[in-house]
Amino acid sequence: SLLINLLSFYYFIFFFYYFLLIAYFFLFIFYFFLFFCYFLIFYIFFFFKQKTAYEMLRSLVGSEMCIRDSYPPFEGAIQAGVGSVMCSYNKINGVWSCENNATLNTDLKERLGFKGYVMSDWGATHSTSIMEGLDVEMPGAGFMNPAAIQAGIKSGNISESAVDASVLRILSQMFAVGVMDEPVLNQPVS
């Protein structure tokens, strides 16, 4: 009876060990496949620099089908009172998203009635595009700095009314969420 119990225990350990081995093998295959998929997506996204996928969809952007299918979520967000929208890195119909007058001014601000401000994705600004509908450049001010905006106003490429409208959009949203309600306490960062 002791021998049978030992053999039963041995067989149990043996089968349990091989069960775990097979399970780990399938987990390895799963994670390898997952890694391969992520690598493939990374390769396609960065090697082709987003160009191929967007060029396939380029004919749809700005069409009535695109407006009908893509804009309702933005309409819902605007109706819910969203304060800012971020433009992206990609080009839309050959124009950088953050300097695309058709999507930022015409569609977003005029057609959809967006009253908030448009902020660039980090590093997605390619020019002083305040006239095209961009209000805030992130993370710094490489293109939309005071010197560039003043030069644009002096040359006539930027209107003072566009700057005023941009400042109004930014400040009105800051007031709306209470950013200006509390005083800033200058305390050293530890």
Q: Which residues are catalytic?
A: 121
Phi-psi region of 123 (alpha: psi -120 to 50; beta: other; left: phi over 0): left
- For the beta carbon of residue 131, count every other beta carbon within 10 angstroms: 17
Residue 136, C-beta contacts closer than 8 angstroms, at least 6 positions apart? 84, 117, 118, 119, 120, 144, 170
Picking from 137, 160, 71, 80, the residue whose alpha carbon sits closest to that of residue 110 is 71
